[in-house]
Structure 1
Amino acid sequence: MSVKKNFPLRIDPKLYEILERWAADEFRSVNAHLEYLLRESAHRAGRLPGGRQSPPPSSDE
């Protein structure tokens, strides 16, 4: 397993509750879910190898 960087994170308690429920819905810990969300966002922004993903299809068609 790779070494992970630890850092303190201050977050609004209400937002944390939302993330806690969301993580539970996805069967992840809050930490793992935050990492997943950040990685997904970085990938969509073209900041990770693999570049930008194409946008989801529009439901207007």
Structure 2
Amino acid sequence: MSAAKREPKRVLLRLDPAIHDAIAKWAADDLRSINAQIEYALRLALKQAGREHKSS
């Protein structure tokens, strides 16, 4: 049996234009899409808060 493919969740996100601009610049500096940069930032925040997902 093969494992089912995990589909990413879609979320509508409203951002202050200044935050969007800052994330867009950060993403460009890191050669990432804005979406990937937001996910990266969320993962960092979860890790810092001690709430990162523990995968098996």
TM-score of the superposition, structure 1-length normalised? 0.71
- Whose radius of gyration is greater, 1 or 2? 1
Where do 5+ consecutive residues of structure 2 fail to align? none
Letter in 2 for 1:3: E
CA RMSD of aligned residues (A): 1.2
CA distance in 1, matches of 2:34, 2:6: 19
Greater helix content:
2
Q: Which has the bigger relative contact order, CA under 8 A and spacing at least 6?
A: 2
Are 1:31 and 2:35 matched, yes or no?
A: yes
Percent of residue pairs bearing the same amino acid type: 41
Where do 5+ consecutive residues of structure 1 fail to align? 50-61
> For 1:11, what is the secondary structure of its paired residue?
coil
Count the aligned residue pairs: 49
